[in-house]
Structure 1
């Protein structure tokens, strides 16, 4: 007898945003505000953000779906140090420095997933299990008295919740807000999704310009006029906060106050999670996009886009459907529209033509985000 299908229900927070949309959306009365243009163009500002934010707070590095099996590892270089995301034999997610503890050699090359019970250094063949422990080394007699337990890979603070893998360079980082968001993500089974595609975009823009695009709905029917804009109601949006993170919803259809199941909500609302400092999760009707932002300089950011679908394609028709969605979003809406707009914005701001940016009432999410950044600095 087959187990009954789990019926996914939204959290109270998600329902509150839906009810707000049904009432016509959030009406921000805070008025016009401004952001200093130097926040996007100053090298000193970039350095300060790296030191006081990215080196301190929890960061999303990947969806759990990147490592669907035990004894898997994926090298990751986007955050300035060679990292290794691993899932050990017990199913636990780990983030390590991708560095052999013998002579400092990079342990795993490339950027693709490897499946093995041990990771072997290419230089002297020291080998490690996927929980980071040194398992063996050639000619152990040449290292008299060596305690293998003292040569484990350097593990960074790691937390997996609700389908996301978080880490921090700071051992004292607090993952409580990540755990709170995990309840929302569990409501639509983020952890059970299949990774369909992933791609890293190299964008000539400050990382905050990418975040800005997903913190306001003002641009949707303008920038996306020929793609996704017609699907949304102009200016009908709602949002709230979970710790330093934001949760927003944009209306796609009619009143939703009596809908309490995911099929109804996802057909009518696009939920977006803006996780501080630089992660975006967009919950579309039948798939999700997770984007992680990795600042490289004040005018350059890497954006890794993961497309997550309910299950691996079971037919050529299903494969074609998902390929079409991937092409529309990653290469079209995000790549050709949002990321292009960010690069054009960087060019304009770098010219010195503006001392400050001006925000209206449909851009209040940006205001909250930039206030959080300023508070950390």
Structure 2
């Protein structure tokens, strides 16, 4: 593999960290508590945001081989993520075009050049085309080319698979992240672990947690807090998405390096992709989290751990297992997601009319402004 090189944007954030991070400016701001608790607000977000904009559904690494398919139910409809025989990614409705039967049962990956409906055995290739109909003479005039699986707009870019429920969706803003993701070879990673968390909180509370570093030294004091410099952070935007950088407790001169591995040892880059995806780039692995709102007070969070290559030894596997346990089971589940659920409980009580954001929480302000703009 060729040497990886940071982008100009990544290096610019590193330079700001070397200078002490973003300077605090402006006063406090506020977000109405009702945006986290109102059922009608949730319905509007589903209609105007999650029903319209491109959404990340999985890393490319979830489908490492051609002729693979993975059922996915998190976004409210039965979906099927597929990679066809030519390597092209698709997101289909997981529904047979004959009588509406769910085509692939369960949630495990399937590896096969054909998908067969369990009811009447209509058969489809992984590009969605209908190839087989038992007793075809009983369907006179049936044009198989008109009965392929229903494909949703899909884009694979930079190591992520995006889709949209809107036929007019524009993926240009998703593709704009490709250069950044190529800098750390997101498309070449191996999916080591995958787990879905059911969190009793509004989806925006999860996003809020990954849009500020104010909590790191406090909420994570017993886990990862010691690895970071309190308040040394900066951020910018790429279209509707945010890119942030937090300084790690490493040698300061590493912040001026253009060597990617050295830079990763000194900085944790996080990408907050609108509306509900987070990519955290740790020194030797990455976590991708996709958020799937279920109600105003419940969200599914799917966490993928991505590593450079499959573990070749028991020692390597043990190393990654420890990292997975620390982040997914410890930091995220026991700290970040727990804090979000506690916030939801407090906000549902009606104790606050609004929440207050300080100068280290400006990323949250930017995010909520983007949400409001989409809601009109």
Q: For the superposition of Structure 1 and Structure 2, which TM-score range results when normalised by the shorter chain? A: over 0.9
The answer (yes or no) to whether the contact 2:67–2:83 under 8 Å persists in 1 is: yes
The answer (yes or no) to whether the contact 2:255–2:267 under 8 Å persists in 1 is: no
C-alpha distance in structure 2 between counterparts of 1:154 and 1:352, whole Å: 44
Q: 1:19 matched to which residue of 2?
A: 15
> Following superposition of structure 1 onto structure 2, how do residues 1-377 of structure 1 map, counting pairs within 5 Å?
5-252=1-248, 253=250, 254-377=252-375
Single out whichever of 62-71 and 21-30 deviates more from structure 2: 21-30
CA root-mean-square deviation: 0.6
- Over residues 32-73 of structure 1, what are the superposed CA-to-partner deviations in whole Å (9 max), with x where a residue is unaligned? 000000000000000000000000000000000000000000
Structure 1 unaligned spans of 5+: none
Shift of residue 258, structure 1, vs aligned partner: 2.9
Shift of residue 177, structure 1, vs aligned partner: 1.0
C-alpha distance in structure 2 between counterparts of 1:21 and 1:255, whole Å: 11
C-alpha distance in structure 1 between counterparts of 2:34 and 2:243, whole Å: 27
Shift of residue 256, structure 1, vs aligned partner: 4.1
C-alpha distance in structure 2 between counterparts of 1:178 and 1:55, whole Å: 16
Secondary structure, aligned partner of 1:233? strand
Shift of residue 83, structure 1, vs aligned partner: 0.3
C-alpha distance in structure 2 between counterparts of 1:285 and 1:6, whole Å: 18
Shift of residue 15, structure 1, vs aligned partner: 0.6
Shift of residue 223, structure 1, vs aligned partner: 0.1
Q: TM-score, normalised by structure 2?
A: 0.98
C-alpha distance in structure 2 between counterparts of 1:166 and 1:322, whole Å: 27
The answer (yes or no) to whether the contact 1:21–1:256 under 8 Å persists in 2 is: no
Secondary structure, aligned partner of 2:153? strand
C-alpha distance in structure 1 between counterparts of 2:253 and 2:296, whole Å: 42
User: Where does structure 1 differ by over 6 angstroms across 4 or more consecutive aligned residues?
Assistant: none
The answer (yes or no) to whether the contact 1:40–1:346 under 8 Å persists in 2 is: yes
- Over residues 334-359 of structure 1, what are the superposed CA-to-partner deviations in whole Å (9 max), with x where a residue is unaligned? 00000000000000000000000000
Shift of residue 28, structure 1, vs aligned partner: 3.3
The answer (yes or no) to whether the contact 1:19–1:256 under 8 Å persists in 2 is: no
Shift of residue 261, structure 1, vs aligned partner: 1.6
Shift of residue 171, structure 1, vs aligned partner: 1.1
- Over residues 274-302 of structure 1, what are the superposed CA-to-partner deviations in whole Å (9 max), with x where a residue is unaligned? 00000000000000000000000000000
Shift of residue 257, structure 1, vs aligned partner: 4.9
C-alpha distance in structure 2 between counterparts of 1:110 and 1:329, whole Å: 27
